């Protein structure tokens, strides 16, 4: 079982990241849960979601000690990094987070998600860059499942953006390998 918290501010695609990850787990026949949480406003307010992908039944969708935290902004890192399990993985968007986390007992992976997204043609793909890093470092689901889930979770009117999102995923995976 892998428990993940993905957090950022509204408009960063945090919920979509969680939906795609959970959808990929479903495609692979795994047990999944996705629990969204919005701050006071959807755009600009805080947003996070809890995702669990497991081979076994899931007792609760609420994540208290995640294996992985994806922090797209500093307030998200400050809030959720302390909850990480010892030895857990903290993936931070180093485009927006310049500070170091206070913990020495976790693995920190810095991904310049906004810059890498800009390289593929859209800053809005920073969420897919970060998701690529999760796939590379955590091996929670297969990349093909992520791509299938992306197609199912993006509204039809945005399907023209699938190639760009695939490129962003690859950029995130490459950055996580380095």
CATH number of the CATH domain containing 96 = 3.40.920.10
Q: Half-sphere exposure of 175 toward its Cβ, with a 13 Å CA cutoff?
A: 29
Q: How many CB atoms lie within 10 A of CB 71?
A: 26
**Average pLDDT of the residues in 141-152:** 96
- For residue 173, the model assigns a pLDDT of 97
Q: How many residues does the chain have?
A: 178
CA distance 31 to 62: 14
Q: What is the DSSP letter of 16?
A: H
- What is the CA angle 78-81-87, rounded to 5? 160
- For residue 43, the model assigns a pLDDT of 55
- Contact call for residues 4 and 33 (beta carbons, < 8 A): no
Number of domains into which the chain is organized: 1
- For residue 24, the model assigns a pLDDT of 98
Question: Considering the entire predicted model, what is its pTM?
Answer: 0.94
Containing structural domain, residue 83: 2-177
- Contact call for residues 71 and 17 (beta carbons, < 8 A): no
Rounded percentage of the chain residues whose pLDDT exceeds 70? 96
Tell me: pLDDT of 148 over 60.
yes
- Crossing angle of the two packed helices 162-177 and 113-120, in degrees rounded to 10: 140
pLDDT digit string, tens, across residues 33-76: 999 997 665 555 679 999 999 999 999 999 999 999 999 999 99
């Amino acid at each position: 079982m892998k428990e993940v918290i993905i957090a950022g501010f509204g408009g960063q695609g945090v919920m979509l990241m969680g939906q795609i990850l959970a959808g990929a787990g479903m495609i692979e026949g795994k047990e999944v849960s996705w629990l969204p949480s919005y701050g006071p406003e959807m755009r600009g307010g805080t947003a996070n979601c809890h995702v669990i992908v497991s081979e076994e039944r899931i007792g609760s969708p609420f994540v208290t000690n995640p294996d992985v935290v994806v922090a797209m902004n500093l307030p998200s890192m400050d809030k959720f990094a302390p909850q990480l399990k010892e030895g857990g993985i903290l993936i931070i968007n180093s485009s927006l987070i310049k500070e170091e986390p206070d913990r020495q007992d976790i693995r920190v992976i810095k991904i310049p998600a906004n810059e890498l997204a800009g390289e593929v043609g859209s800053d809005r793909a920073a969420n897919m860059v970060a998701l690529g890093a999760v796939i590379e470092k955590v091996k929670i689901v297969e990349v093909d499942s992520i791509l299938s889930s992306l197609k199912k979770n993006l509204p039809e009117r945005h399907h023209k953006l699938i190639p760009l999102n695939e490129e962003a995923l690859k950029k995130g995976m490459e950055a996580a390998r380095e």
